[in-house]
Structure 1
Amino acid sequence: MGKGNQTSVSEFFLLGFSQRPEQQLIFFGLFLSMYLVTLVGNLTIILAIIFDSHLHIPMYFFVANLSFADMNFPSTTVPKMLADNRSGNNKISYGGCLAQLYFFGLLADLDNFLLAVMAYDRYVAISCPLYYATAMSPQHCVLMVVVSWVVTVIHALLHILLLDRLVFCGPNTIPHFYCDLIPLLKLACSDTHVNELMLFLVSGPLLVGPFLCILVSYIYIFLAILKIHSPQGKHKAFSNCTSHLSMVSLFYGSAIGAYLCPSPISSTGKERAFAVMYMVVTPMLNPFIYSLRNKDMKRAIRNILSHKTILS
């Protein structure tokens, strides 16, 4: 990446999730189980949506994209962590660290944007039903997902290019189980003001913007629900939003807890715990949240499990 001989550090050392040998086997089994459930669960959701023509509507199109992101999000960190746990080799090369940080940032941003797009979809469906077919046409749905991908790819690449300008001359220990941007900036021997400025000017709005979109969308949704006179209509409208609200609460609650909320316990321990929540637990719960409360999804999954595909 053009760093030449400026950086004496060719690899970093990840502290991992636990340094106690008696806990490592427990954590290995726990994270391996959660990772496999995440892969199988989200893949099942994607296949159910693809093969059931009744689910070929905007809401499930976005759910399938979210499941794809959630299936790959933990894949950027968990396999490496599991391998390190068994081998005892917690080293990661400089290039490997940047690659892990790039894909982690890309997929985290993509989750953020997709949750906002899904909130907009629910807002139009409940608050402007007559406008829904036009606003959420197949072309518009694809465009929103493509824009989300393009923005997140550029945003993640921006931080990698700026990070590659820095000089790392030691120490090289990252107090985490993956390469995270903030700990890396703290290890740099050169000036990081440009990196920090980009975090404030670019990352801040890109992270806060989708959250505000979700917040405003649900304010209008709840106002629209209050105007529905039928109790059954209110219940149906609210139940359509419950799954998405659950995902939003889990994702943003753990992310805010990790980066914005002070804690009386070790900040490193707190960051690791919250990172596990939004990186491992939330993607694992996504299939259950979207299937257990949804009759159409449960029917489609049953058909997948019984090898019945519905294409008519």
Structure 2
Amino acid sequence: RIQKYILFMSSESSTRLEGRIPDMSPLEYPVGTIQISVSNLEPFTQYCAVLVFENNGGLRSPESKRECIVTPQTTPGKPQNFRMHSHSSSTVALSWKTPLQRFGVVTTFHILYWEGEDDTPKGMEMKPEGQEQIDFVLSGLKANTYYRIQVRAVNSAGAGEPSQTVAFTTDEGLPGPVGQLTNISRTSTSIELQWQIPQQQNGDIISFIVQCEMNQTLSKDISTMQTQKPKMLPPTVLELSVRNLMPASLYQCSVRAATKIGTGETALLKVWTHPEALSPPLSPDISKVTENSVTLKLYE
């Protein structure tokens, strides 16, 4: 008489991406069992089962037909050894390994990064193309900015656990152009300029460099023309009066901000100086007078 059923299950390493796991211990069920549920299986793994029965004499029947199934994929574990190797003002070099528990075929990695104290991350995808070790350079970052980065593996079941978080601050870079460069006043020999700090500072502004160069002049007296040397101003000064210029002349003025990395983009402005005020003529000499006329001698 049949006393019990014995279920033998084993995993097949040929379809399991993470490698073979030990065969399961035999499971015994009493006579009358019509349905068996086996739990604690590994995702994305092929299992094969055979069933035998044993009678009250301890004798076993031949094995049933072998039946095999593959458990569904589920989201993968976290990537391994996520590290930052180096960074610049706009890039960071990262590396990681595919998850130990992939639970499917990893098709994509999501790289998520938070800028400053933002709560909402930006992200991008990369496809591993089968390699275990991933080396990746994330570009397009802002200079002198704090970032946090995570990586997630993705299979057909979705995105898995995030890696550990890597945090760093990008290097300083060259600043952008100063804002709103304007001429606020001018005379025949001076131009007064005003500007605002760059919208993209990309570091600590250490100075402003200002220069005005003459492009053309309507003045006839160019013997007094002086070459304008660049002027370096501290970062708190946002205006300058450039003096000793030629009257009735067109000057191209430039302002550049600088960080410890170097000078940034140039903001340009063209300004005419006023013409020189005319001097009054010399008084004429009266050279001849008659009863109905006068003759004057004029001087240039």
Q: Which has the higher contact order (CA 8 A, sep 6+)?
A: 1
Category of TM-score, reference length = shorter chain:
under 0.3
Tell me which protein shows more helix as a share of its residues.
1
> So what's the TM-score if we normalise by structure 2?
0.21
